[in-house]
Structure 1
Amino acid sequence: MATGESDCLFCRIVAGEIPAEIVHRGEAVVGFRDVAPQAPVHVLFVPTAHHANAAALAAAAPEAAAELVTAAAAVADAEGLDGHYRLVFNTGTGVGQSVFHAHLHLLGGRSMTWPPG
């Protein structure tokens, strides 16, 4: 069960109150497919505890931040991305964060340019 805010979309997904296609579930991290994918593989990884953004997560629970990346790498391997994928944290509305629960995007399965956006 997530510890967080009752109106937080991602806390409610972690708690099983809102359906999602879960691809990873660990003690501190849940991964699920994005409902509006930006690549053939687009999975979001969230800590089970509520933290507003990546910086807040890293300050409060660095082990959970590391587990997000470890879980994303495992799912990328399981999805056959062969070491070719992008990991993205958005922090703040000015760069696209729309749900204020820290989350890591795993994107892969297509070519991507640099810089993004």
Structure 2
Amino acid sequence: MAAPEAACVLYFDDEAAPALRLARAAGLTAQAIERHRFPDGELKLRLPVDETTGRLPRHAVLLRSLHQPNEKLVELLLAARTARSLGVQHLTLVAPYLAYMRQDMAFQPGEAVSQQVVGGFL
């Protein structure tokens, strides 16, 4: 029987310090997600796959605070979908700040209930 793959903590460079603390506390490895920004602001991400298999472990923890959330939500969507396509079956989000949760009902006609929209996405 093959040894189980170790889970990992995936993080973006702007959150390296908390990611390394989390990984150390949980006994996991921490691996950075590479990010490239094109001149128009579009993002390209590269997740840290195993060089032999081209895959990620079956369990990964994705650390992403959603302070200043708009761009980070796109990063999160890209990273999560890519992680799944690279073999992650159990993806845990650790979000020290969870944005868009204050609007839990429409106070005026036509208002978006962001808690439902973003919560559903997450």
Q: TM-score range by the shorter chain?
A: 0.3 to 0.5
Larger relative contact order (C-alpha < 8 A, sep ≥ 6)?
1
